[in-house]
Amino acid sequence: MNQVLVTGGAGFIGSNLVNELLKLDIYKVYVFDNLSTGRLANIPINHPLLKFYQLNLLSDIKDWPVLDNLEYIFHFSANADVRGGLKDRNIDLEQNVLVTKSVCDYAKKNNCKHLIFASSATVYGEPETYPTKETAPLIQTSIYGASKLSGEAFIQAYSEYSDFQSTIFRFVSWIGYGYSHGVIYDFYKKLRNNPYQLEILGDGLQRKSFLDVSDGIKGILKLKEHNKKSQIFNLGHKEIMDINQLAKIVCQYLELNNIEFKYTGSKRGWIGDSPLVHLDISKASSFGWSPSVSIKQGIINTLDYLTSNKKNIFR
């Protein structure tokens, strides 16, 4: 039975991947997670094909469990707060760059065949063309984006040395079951605290693409097989939606009427926020993948999850 490792496997995307891998019943699945944001409740901890390790990936790889001849490492552990770099200029360097370098060394040491990396649409900064192709210039507007691009570079270089094959996925914002941070979470939390007014970062006209986690996981598993040393795929949606429209869907779902929207100002929600995120997914589509869940349905799926798990999520 092939062995696979998922870093960050108790987090939002990682746990959805772990659960899908276990359904296939063909992999022994190992999970590394420090549980800073991930939750053991997200994964079937007693599953016979699952082995969990609570592990700080900033530690020396000599102290990591030995998992020889791994078929895949899905490296999904990261600082996921895009805005965090404004206050702490080290967190993305440590959690996204140094950890990724260590994962590359660990993959080489343990004879991993294929490393799969969760990158981000933020590597494009504010591109000149939309939808944005994988070949677009990469001009950084955030430390988070810069850290993801650095991770890509390390992985590609190790692949060029033939240490392992690699696949890099540039994600838009993911939503759906298990969602634990981001704009829908923020809106839901704010409206629970004040059902009369909603603060919206920026002017609400930012247009974003969102991807339901069920579609995203299908994309990862579909696109991981290729014959190149390294491949890069955008994973996004053909649809886009402005933040005002998203806010209205959240309010309608919660049956809240006449909510006052209070804006913080500029066309960006924060420094480094791109007013438009829309990735070209034609390359992924040419390999046989495309999303099937609409953005609106993905938002509803997310709200279904948040409302049914609010006791555990909002402590």
Say which CATH topology domain 2-174+210-235 has: Rossmann fold (3.40.50)
Q: What is the CA radius of gyration of the chain?
A: 19
Q: Where in the chain is the domain with CATH 3.90.25.10?
A: 176-209+239-277+293-313
Q: For the chain, 315 residues long, give each residue's pLDDT as a single digit of tens.
A: 899 999 999 999 999 999 999 999 999 999 999 999 999 999 999 999 999 999 999 999 999 999 988 999 999 999 987 777 677 889 999 999 999 999 999 999 999 999 999 999 999 999 999 999 999 999 999 999 999 999 999 999 999 999 999 999 999 999 999 998 899 999 999 999 999 999 999 999 999 999 999 999 999 999 999 999 999 999 999 999 999 999 999 999 999 999 999 999 888 887 888 999 999 999 999 999 999 999 999 999 999 999 998 666 655
Torsion of CA 279, 284, 286, 289, to 10 degrees: -120
Instruction: Kindly state the greatest CA–CA separation across the chain.
Output: 59
Say which residues have a Cβ less than 8 Å from residue 233's Cβ, sequence separation at least 6: 134, 167, 168, 169, 170, 219, 223, 283, 284, 287
Beta carbons within 10 angstroms of residue 148's beta carbon? 29
C-alpha 17/C-alpha 3 separation (Å) is 14
The model's pTM: 0.95
Q: Where in the chain is the domain with CATH 3.40.50.720?
A: 2-174+210-235
Q: Residue 276: is it exposed, middle or buried by C-beta count within 10 angstroms (0-12/13-18/19+)?
A: middle
Q: Tell me how long the chain is.
A: 315
CATH of 176-209+239-277+293-313, one of 3.90.25.10, 3.30.160.270, 1.10.260.40, 3.90.1150.10: 3.90.25.10
